């Protein structure tokens, strides 16, 4: 627990600074662009990240899980081969995601209300996919305990966005310039984290990183392909609702409603990011617990503490949003986004319920059963995502809040059951 919260403390230090910077550029972007243009900006970015989330193939969970075994054996050659394998898989998936986003932009954009300038830039913006193609270096930094660097990296994107927003507003430019800024921020995220990962891997592994001895990654890491496929499907399904919901809102209700929804959803980041960080940082430690043969009661005790602390930490934020929704929206985006207040309360409640998900998914994956976590997220997505268009027609923007709460309750309940069941069978 000490190592887990030391890690989350280091990452949250960067996240706190990033959150402040993000709030500043959100204040500027929403007031400068207004609900409709801000909605278009959000929809273009959400489209790219959704395609990326479906097509990409992040490798960080495999790096952490099998890397923990390699470190236990002091196997630098095995670690080098594992890192090269993870990088190859992830970068190939990233290239396919970019090509897919380019190919589909002209088909999807008209249905989301993109203006001509956004349509013309959408294919270039597909390279923003690279902002998410960085899990291999992130996984290695987690494995070696360099959460301080992950925390610093969290500042890269908001710094670029904030600096770019200041320039755009100073020169009186428009929506396309904001898209350029967000693209540059994504490319900076990609470059900085890969540089950090390569630097420390080269220092620790030496020449073996570039010229490892011959060896078969799949034989020395049994089941790695099955693990990669299942863990990636799990991550995709877990994040799919949050990524695709703005697109469905924009498709059904238009860009202005998508802008309102994005502001409401932004309030949930205060809860969501610490929970996701906690899940990621605990995953490295849970993998070490399992590798040392403690995948039963010790893992359950650690998991219960992680979930309990995350829920307690979220309660004050939930209370503030529930009691003062209009004030929170006004702070985030201004009076023109006031209609986002009611759905924001529902989304924050849903996110609080979903706090148990990331740590439980991490525990299930650390035990070597990511397919079980994937099944829970698949079931909840299949039940609730198809209902979102109907709920939006029936309840307006609040339908997105109803969908989010329902999905959070079902997914969280299933993940708690599966985490406990998987650990008691060891």
Tokens of 371: 């397919």
- The pLDDT value given to residue 200: 87
Average pLDDT (197-203) is: 87
- The pLDDT value given to residue 10: 52
Taking the model in full, what pTM does it have?
0.79
Q: Say if residue 239's pLDDT is above 80.
A: no
- The pLDDT value given to residue 75: 64
Distances (CA, A) of 353 to 36, 322, 384, 414: 30, 14, 15, 12
Q: Say if residue 86's pLDDT is above 70.
A: yes
Helix (H, G, I), strand (E, B) or coil at 315: helix
Angstrom distance (rounded) from CA 17 to CA 24? 11
- Quickly list DSSP for 381-397: HHHHGGGHHHHHHHHTT
Q: Say if residue 417's pLDDT is above 80.
A: yes
Q: How many residues does the chain have?
A: 426
CB 192, CB 55: distance < 8 Å: no
pLDDT in tens, 6-48: 555 555 555 556 667 777 888 888 888 888 999 999 899 999 9
Angstrom distance (rounded) from CA 318 to CA 345? 8
Could you tell me the residue range of the domain that residue 359 belongs to?
Answer: 2-424
Which positions ≥6 away from 402 have C-beta within 8 Å?
A: 346, 391, 395
pLDDT in tens, 309-333: 777 777 888 888 889 989 888 887 8
- Quickly list DSSP for 281-300: HHHHHHHHHHHTT-TTHHHH
Q: pLDDT above 90 covers what percent of the chain?
A: 23
Average pLDDT (212-220) is: 77
Question: What is the count of structural domains for the chain?
Answer: 1
- The pLDDT value given to residue 334: 80
- The pLDDT value given to residue 210: 79
Tokens of 10: 């280091």
Which positions ≥6 away from 322 have C-beta within 8 Å?
A: 345, 348, 349
Helix (H, G, I), strand (E, B) or coil at 130: helix
Q: pLDDT above 70 covers what percent of the chain?
A: 87
Angstrom distance (rounded) from CA 186 to CA 101? 15
pLDDT in tens, 381-416: 778 888 999 999 999 999 999 999 998 899 888 888
| Other C-beta atoms lying within 10 Å of the C-beta of residue 276 | 19
Alpha helices in 254-340 (DSSP H): 255-291, 297-323, 325-333
- How sure is the predictor about 270, in pLDDT bands with cuts at 50, 70 and 90? low
Neighbour-count burial for 98-108, b at 16+ CB within 10 Å, e otherwise: bebbbeebeeb
On average, the pLDDT of the chain sits at 82
Looking up tokens 């829970």 gives 376
- How sure is the predictor about 183, in pLDDT bands with cuts at 50, 70 and 90? very high
């Amino acid at each position: 627990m000490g190592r887990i919260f030391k890690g989350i403390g280091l990452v949250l230090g960067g996240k706190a600074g990033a959150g402040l910077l993000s709030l500043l550029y959100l204040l500027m972007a929403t007031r400068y662009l207004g609900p409709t243009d801000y909605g278009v900006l959000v929809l273009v970015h959400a489209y790219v990240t959704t395609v990326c989330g479906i097509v990409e193939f992040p490798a960080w969970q495999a790096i952490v899980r099998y890397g923990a075994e390699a470190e236990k054996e002091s196997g630098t050659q095995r670690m080098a081969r594992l890192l090269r394998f993870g990088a190859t898989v992830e970068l190939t998936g990233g290239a396919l995601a970019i090509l897919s986003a380019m190919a589909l932009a002209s088909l999807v954009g008209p249905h989301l209300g993109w203006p001509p300038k956004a349509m013309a830039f959408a294919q270039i913006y597909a390279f923003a996919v690279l902002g998410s193609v960085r899990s291999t270096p992130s996984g290695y930094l987690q494995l070696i305990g360099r959460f301080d660097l992950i925390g610093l990296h969290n500042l890269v994107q908001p710094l670029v966005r904030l600096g770019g927003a200041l320039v755009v507003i100073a020169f009186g430019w428009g929506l396309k310039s904001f898209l350029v800024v967000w693209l540059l921020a994504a490319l900076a995220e990609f470059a900085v984290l890969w540089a950090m990962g390569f630097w420390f891997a080269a220092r620790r592994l030496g020449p073996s990183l570039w010229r490892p001895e011959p060896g078969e990654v799949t034989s020395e890491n049994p089941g790695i392909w099955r693990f990669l496929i299942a863990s990636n499907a799990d991550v995709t399904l877990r994040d799919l609702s949050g990524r695709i919901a703005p697109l469905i809102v924009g498709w059904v209700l238009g860009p202005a409603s998508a802008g309102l929804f994005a502001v409401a959803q932004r309030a949930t980041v205060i809860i969501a990011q610490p929970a996701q960080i906690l899940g990621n940082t605990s995953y490295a430690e849970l993998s070490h617990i399992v590798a040392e043969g403690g995948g039963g009661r010790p893992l359950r005790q650690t998991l219960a503490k992680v979930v309990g602390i995350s829920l307690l930490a979220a309660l004050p934020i939930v209370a503030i949003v529930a009691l003062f929704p209009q004030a929170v929206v006004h702070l985030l985006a201004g009076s023109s986004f006031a209609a986002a207040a009611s759905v924001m309360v529902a989304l924050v409640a849903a996110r609080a319920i979903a706090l148990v998900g990331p740590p439980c998914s991490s525990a299930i994956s650390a035990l070597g059963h990511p397919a079980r976590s994937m099944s829970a997220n698949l079931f909840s997505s299949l039940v609730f995502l198809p209902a979102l268009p109907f709920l939006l027609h029936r309840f307006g923007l609040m339908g997105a809040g109803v969908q989010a709460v329902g999905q959070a309750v079902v997914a969280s309940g299933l993940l708690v059951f599966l985490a406990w069941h998987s650990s008691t069978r060891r």
